């Protein structure tokens, strides 16, 4: 059970990911979460830097989509601009498999070709791992998602290595 909560890898922010390495591993589809991944939780506007990154990944040949548990749909200002360029699945019900499968179908990609990039181990990582999708957990907190540089001192791993480590850190801030 605990294996399914462990990401294939982690990164401070979406800007720290080596997308060329992922391409070399045969990954061609990128599934992004929105809150605390592309921007702050509950944001009204997608950060320009995040939009530029997503569009550059599309230009580089990746198939990119958004998989979010946000309930808003057509009027969600944070993803309206993205919807013009890439598929967006709202109210995905992560970690259930159905939202992942729907987005993979829209991207014409198999699970082994995909990477889920998100901040939560109980939704993004677990859902991806259940389907055999490579998972990258973003360690940033909402205040640092759009920062140029992550602060490693404030990061918290989702699954501490021991009970003592978990107690020292005050538990997992990602809800696991």
Which of 31, 16, 18, 21 minimizes the C-alpha distance to 125? 31
Contacts of 86 (CB under 8 A, 6+ apart): 54, 58, 64, 65, 66
What's the confidence (pLDDT) of residue 74? 60
pLDDT attached to residue 72:
67
Per-residue tens of pLDDT for the chain, all 176 residues: 567 788 999 999 999 999 999 999 999 999 999 888 998 888 888 899 999 999 999 999 999 999 988 876 667 777 787 888 999 988 888 989 999 999 999 999 999 999 999 999 889 999 999 999 999 999 875 434 444 433 333 333 344 333 333 333 333 444 44
List, in order of start, the domains of the chain with CATH numbers: 2-169 (3.40.50.1000)
The set of residues, in sequence order, having a beta carbon less than 8 Å from that of 137 and lying 6+ positions away, is: 7, 9, 10, 11, 118, 119, 120, 121, 124, 125, 158
> What is the pLDDT, as a whole number, of residue 26?
97
The span from the CA of 101 to the CA of 121, in Å, is 18
């Amino acid at each position: 059970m605990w294996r399914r909560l462990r990401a294939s890898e982690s990164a401070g922010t979406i800007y720290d990911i080596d997308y060329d390495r992922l391409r070399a591993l045969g990954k061609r589809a990128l599934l992004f979460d929105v809150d605390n991944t592309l921007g702050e939780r509950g944001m009204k506007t997608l950060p320009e830097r995040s939009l530029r990154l997503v569009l550059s990944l599309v230009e580089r040949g990746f198939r990119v989509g958004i998989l979010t548990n946000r309930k808003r749909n057509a009027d969600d200002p944070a993803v309206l601009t993205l919807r013009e360029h890439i598929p967006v699945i709202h109210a995905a019900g992560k970690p259930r498999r159905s939202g992942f499968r729907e987005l993979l179908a829209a991207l014409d990609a198999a699970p082994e070709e995909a990477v889920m990039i998100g901040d939560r181990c109980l939704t993004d990582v677990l859902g991806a791992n259940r389907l055999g999708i490579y998972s990258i957990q973003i360690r940033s907190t909402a205040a640092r998602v759009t920062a140029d540089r992550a602060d490693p001192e404030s990061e918290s791993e989702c699954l501490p290595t021991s009970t003592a480590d978990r107690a020292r850190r005050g538990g997992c801030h990602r809800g696991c």
